Amino acid sequence: MHKSDTPRTYRVKSFGCQMNVYDGERMAELLAEQGITPAPEGEDADLVVLNTCHIREKAAEKVYSDIGRLVKAGEEAGRKPMIAVAGCVAQAEGEEIMARAPAVSMVVGPQAYHRLPEMIAQAASGKRATDTDMPEDAKFAALPKRRKVGPTAFLTIQEGCDKFCTYCVVPYTRGAEISRPFSDLLREAASLVEAGAREITLLGQNVNAWTGEDVTGRELGFDGLVRAMAALPDLQRIRYTTSHPNDVTEGMIAMHGEVDKLMPYLHLPVQSGSDRVLKAMNRSHTAESYLKLLERFREARPDIALSGDFIVGFPGETEAEFEETLALVDAVGYAQAFSFKYSARPGTPAATMDGHVPMAVMDERLQRLQAHLNRDQLAFNQASVGKTCDVLVERKGKKPGQWLGKSPWLQSVFFEGEAAIGDMVRASLEEAGPNSLRGEVLEKVSA
């Protein structure tokens, strides 16, 4: 590799989950602290960070085609961008990337990106660098303070996963479960609020597995953290994602009935409605135990909006087993959900199981499942019509004078009138579509 100039502009492209979005924001802040500025819209950047996702599909192939595109655009413009591959593909396939893509200067895993500045200096002096270490905790301590954020912000409180669902790469790419310390989290939350956040979404692969100690050394669970965050005066809303059924506690259910700032929304993946499939997935819950949990959340907070994740076509899934998933969906009535075709991930136990389901069957099952989920999402939105709720304004809408925000139940609500980003307005919900609602503003609650 040739020596290259220290980059002056950067672009971070994040794929995949919200944690990657959070990591992408933190990398951007870190680069900004080094005096590197975001590349203006439509202009090539000196440094491109591809923050990759490995959870499904041919993610790695996509990375190579992105790299190819960047190299070509660089050649056409007579320049050579510095390319960093970050995220879970970097973690899982770092060495291969380095071997296959000479244009890549840096490979950096999700636990090591605080070391980007040194890696950039190294790359500028002509040395390629790989860092896929998983040092506990070091990353967050090394990242700069949050300075300016929008009204909604993410905060990673927990990372990694010890559950080892047989289809999933996360335990390998993100490592073992770790919880960030309580005082660091409260400090970061306070700085997010100071920087403009009105809503914080607590993130973790198993967010409700978080444990820690408060300042007096008393042990706290996830609900203790949420209650402590709710005491931050200018923070108006708290959300969290993603939870695991096995880490649900009494306290976590109770907080939904007791903490006003906690939004009535729960994303609790189930993956399948068939106990045989759940067992083969190593989920350690049954369809019935999951439904019972949801019942208890509904008792604590009757208007809670439910969301989940589903996989169709897990190896060996029969038509009858798939129909058990449809029956579970019908029993719950989800407000929102995410559904995927099973994708064999190299190195996971399911990848070598018998009975891989043909793509055409998976396509057909996914369509049927999504028909049920879409029906329920529309029904949930329609049932909201006539309600009055607070809407946190996130951005301008497509039409002039239009604004877009979120209801407590995470629905997109658009409305016309006087407002600004970050306002909380009270609105009556007038009309519902599959993906959004139209509201009318009654009053401004806070700015």
| CA distances, 370 to each of 81, 110, 325, 330 (Å) | 41, 32, 11, 12
Smallest distance from ligand 5AD to CB 130, Å:
25
Distance separating alpha carbons of residues 319 and 282, to the nearest angstrom: 20
Q: Do 131 and 139 touch, CB atoms closer than 8 A? A: no
**Residue closest to ligand 5AD when measured from CB atoms:** 309
Nearer to ligand 5AD, 297 or 340 (CB): 340
One-character DSSP codes across 252-293: HHHHHHH-TTB-SEEE---B-S-HHHHHHTT----HHHHHHH
Taking CB under 6 A as the criterion, the residue among 179, 241, 271, 377 binding ligand 5AD is 271
Q: Phi and psi at residue 438, in whole multiples of 5°?
A: -100, 130
Distance separating alpha carbons of residues 429 and 382, to the nearest angstrom: 9
Q: Strand runs (DSSP E) across 322-435, as ranges?
A: 336-341, 388-396, 402-406, 412-416, 424-432
349 binds ligand SF4 (CB under 6 A): no
298 binds ligand SF4 (CB under 6 A): no
Q: Write out 24-48 in H/E/C secondary structure.
A: HHHHHHHHHHCCCEECCCCCCCCEE
Q: Do 220 and 181 touch, CB atoms closer than 8 A? A: no
Number of residues that bind ligand SF4 (CB under 6 A): 10
Instruction: Look at residue 409 and give its three-state secondary structure.
Output: coil
343 binds, among ligand 5AD, ligand SF4, none (CB under 5 to 8 A by kind): ligand 5AD
340 binds, among ligand SF4, ligand 5AD, none (CB under 5 to 8 A by kind): ligand 5AD
340 binds ligand 5AD (CB under 6 A): yes
Q: Do 415 and 390 touch, CB atoms closer than 8 A? A: no
Distance separating alpha carbons of residues 171 and 349, to the nearest angstrom: 12
165 binds ligand SF4 (CB under 6 A): yes
Nearer to ligand 5AD, 84 or 203 (CB): 203
Taking CB under 6 A as the criterion, the residue among 175, 221, 264, 269 binding ligand 5AD is 269
Smallest distance from ligand 5AD to CB 165, Å:
7
Smallest distance from ligand SF4 to CB 168, Å:
3
Q: What mask of x and - would describe binding to ligand SF4 in positions 222 to 251, judged by CB under 6 A?
A: ----------------------x-------
Smallest distance from ligand SF4 to CB 206, Å:
6
55 binds ligand 5AD (CB under 6 A): yes
Taking CB under 6 A as the criterion, the residue among 171, 196, 349, 397 binding ligand SF4 is 171
CA dihedral 282, 284, 285, 287 (to 10 degrees): 30
Smallest distance from ligand 5AD to CB 269, Å:
4
Span from 19-27, 157-165, 339-347, 403-411 in contact with ligand SF4 (CB under 6 A)? 157-165
Distance separating alpha carbons of residues 207 and 290, to the nearest angstrom: 17
208 binds ligand 5AD (CB under 6 A): no
Nearer to ligand SF4, 165 or 332 (CB): 165
274 binds ligand 5AD (CB under 6 A): no
Taking CB under 6 A as the criterion, the residue among 114, 239, 256, 345 binding ligand 5AD is 345
With b for 16 or more beta-carbon neighbours within 10 A and e for fewer, the 329-355 pattern comes to beebebbbbebbbbbebeebbbbeeee
161 binds, among ligand SF4, ligand 5AD, none (CB under 5 to 8 A by kind): ligand SF4
444 binds, among ligand 5AD, ligand SF4, none (CB under 5 to 8 A by kind): none
Distance separating alpha carbons of residues 42 and 38, to the nearest angstrom: 11
* Cβ neighbours of residue 242 closer than 8 Å, sequence gap 6 or more: 204, 205, 206, 207, 267, 269, 309
Smallest distance from ligand 5AD to CB 447, Å:
36
Q: Strand runs (DSSP E) across 2-147, as ranges?
A: 9-14, 37-38, 47-52, 82-86, 104-108, 129-131
Span from 59-67, 126-134, 341-349, 410-418 in contact with ligand 5AD (CB under 6 A)? 341-349
Smallest distance from ligand 5AD to CB 372, Å:
16
Q: What sign does the CA torsion over 319, 320, 325, 328 have? A: positive
- Residue ranges in contact with ligand 5AD by CB under 6 A: 55-56, 167-168, 269, 271, 309, 311, 340, 342-343, 345
- Residue ranges in contact with ligand SF4 by CB under 6 A: 161, 163-165, 168, 170-171, 205-206, 244
